[in-house]
Amino acid sequence: MKKFYSLPGLILSAIFLIVAFMFINKSVEHSHEFKVEKNKISEILNFKDRLLSFRDWVFSEEAWQEKKVKYDAVLAKSEEHYNKAVSNGHYLLFACLGFFALMLILYARKRIYFGITLGLAVIGIALLGQGITNPILEMGAFEDDMTFKVYLKPKDIPYYMEAIEKIEEASELSEYIEIIPFFGESLAEGTKSGINSIGEFMLENANEPFGTDVVFKGRTYFYYQNKGIMDVIKLLWIDNKPVAIAIGTFSVIVPLTKLIFSLFILLFPITRAKRLRKVLSYIAKWSMADVFVIGAFLAYLSFSNMSPGVQMDAKALFGLYFFGGYVIISIIMGMMLDLSIKEKVKIMEADANSEVMLGKLLDD
């Protein structure tokens, strides 16, 4: 029966992974809808559609009210899907805690390090799956209540001086109005006075700006991205395959291989486990998962603190935290794996000594 000590743990692990990937699949579905709806927001409030629209310039208030109705509806849908995706992530965490507690109970009396390491390896697979399939960062460049000052100085008008001269000529032409019977003189005097006042006003206010502020209410987007690790790999695969392969290899394939090899080391006989341990040590050197997480946080911090003349915003989404959780568990699992191997050797030696003692007793 000792040979089958790992069987209950493997059965529990299989059940846990089935449940875990059900939650992951639900999270991915809602994350996809979240990204679709969020992209609609940036399309509704895209700067090209707003700045190049005559209606938005002339009837800015009416145009904004129409866009706001669409914006509020899409924003509500995106938040609803994101909250559902996060909720499934929480269910996954509860499943991880429950599974780990069962592993501790199952192997508490004997092979405790085996139970801990097996539990961490299987949980690591679940967290890695959740981390690479869901969005990790959301970045945007925008401006709130973008205002254009539509002002012009009279002196900047083309042919400004020619216009003044024409006004003066018009003033002189008003003398011909005097020939009109009865009202000619009074009309000529009023016309000349009015034309002269226009000319004087233009001369006196040649450097004074005239115009109005055109405000595009709400948020106007210049840039928006909402990506996960797999989204980045797909995007890079189109134009930059070497980089896509590098990210996919070092952030997905190598970490997953590391977890699978850890499981093999736990389950294989000690002689094979030592060989696999050397292979695992070599693979671990090529793992870039921890570097990726640090790079993602640096990108988040640097982007949110940039000041290129518009507002910048960056948000770490829940996928990044699950990926970071995998990195932490991977580090702890490495230490537990060494202890598990030592534990296995110790138990084997104890069993061997027991058999020797039992043989001596039988001989006596």
Question: Are 60 and 117 contained in the same domain?
Answer: yes
**Angstrom distance (rounded) from CA 223 to CA 337:** 45
Which of 208, 226, 254 delimits the end of a domain?
208
Identify the three-state secondary structure at position 26. helix
Question: Are 161 and 32 contained in the same domain?
Answer: no
Question: Are 66 and 204 contained in the same domain?
Answer: no
Q: Is residue 258 within 8 Å of residue 330, measured between CB atoms?
A: yes
**Structural domain count, the chain:** 2
Q: Is residue 330 within 8 Å of residue 122, measured between CB atoms?
A: no
Which whole number is the average pLDDT over 234-250? 77
Which of 166, 191, 208 delimits the end of a domain?
208
272: region left, alpha or beta (phi > 0 left; psi from -120 to 50 alpha): alpha
**Angstrom distance (rounded) from CA 181 to CA 85:** 87
294 φ/ψ angles, rounded to the nearest 5 degrees: -60, -45
**Angstrom distance (rounded) from CA 345 to CA 352:** 10
Domain that holds residue 352: 2-148+215-363
Identify the three-state secondary structure at position 136. strand
**Angstrom distance (rounded) from CA 330 to CA 251:** 13
Percent of the chain topping pLDDT 90: 19
**Angstrom distance (rounded) from CA 231 to CA 34:** 14
**Cα-based distances in Å from 177 to 113, 185, 186, 238:** 111, 7, 9, 77
**Angstrom distance (rounded) from CA 76 to CA 71:** 9
Question: Are 144 and 161 contained in the same domain?
Answer: no
**pLDDT at residue 322 in the model:** 92
User: Amino acid letter at 310?
Assistant: V
Q: Is residue 265 within 8 Å of residue 276, measured between CB atoms?
A: yes
Question: Are 124 and 219 contained in the same domain?
Answer: yes
**pLDDT at residue 96 in the model:** 95
**Angstrom distance (rounded) from CA 304 to CA 297:** 11
**Angstrom distance (rounded) from CA 333 to CA 265:** 12
**pLDDT at residue 143 in the model:** 83
- Is residue 282 predicted with pLDDT exceeding 90? no
Question: Are 60 and 178 contained in the same domain?
Answer: no
User: Amino acid letter at 112?
Assistant: I
Give pLDDT tens digits for 163-191.
666 666 666 555 555 555 544 455 555 56
Question: Are 141 and 175 contained in the same domain?
Answer: no
**Global pTM?**
0.75
288: which residues sit within 8 A by CB, 6+ positions away?
A: 250, 251, 254
Question: Are 159 and 137 contained in the same domain?
Answer: no
pLDDT-derived band at 340 (thresholds 50, 70, 90) equals confident
Give how far the C-alpha of residue 17 lies from the chain's centroid of Cα atoms, to the nearest Å: 26
In sequence order, the β-bridge partners of residue 226 are 138
**Angstrom distance (rounded) from CA 327 to CA 336:** 14
Give pLDDT tens digits for 84-115.
999 999 999 999 999 999 999 988 887 888 88
The runs of H, that is alpha helices, within the chain are: 7-44, 47-51, 54-58, 60-107, 112-133, 160-173, 184-204, 229-239, 241-248, 254-267, 270-285, 289-304, 318-363
Query: What angle, 0 to 180 degrees and rounded to 10, lies between the N-to-C axes of helices 318-363 and 254-267?
Result: 20
Question: Are 162 and 226 contained in the same domain?
Answer: no
**First CA to last CA distance, the chain:** 27
State the chain's mean pLDDT as an integer: 77
Closest CA to 338 of 286, 274, 279, 272: 274
Q: Specify the higher pLDDT residue, 350 or 255.
A: 255
200's tokens: 């004087």
**pLDDT at residue 127 in the model:** 93
Q: Specify the higher pLDDT residue, 135 or 240.
A: 135
Question: Are 131 and 158 contained in the same domain?
Answer: no
Length reported for the chain:
364
Question: Are 22 and 6 contained in the same domain?
Answer: yes
Question: Are 288 and 257 contained in the same domain?
Answer: yes
Identify the three-state secondary structure at position 314. strand
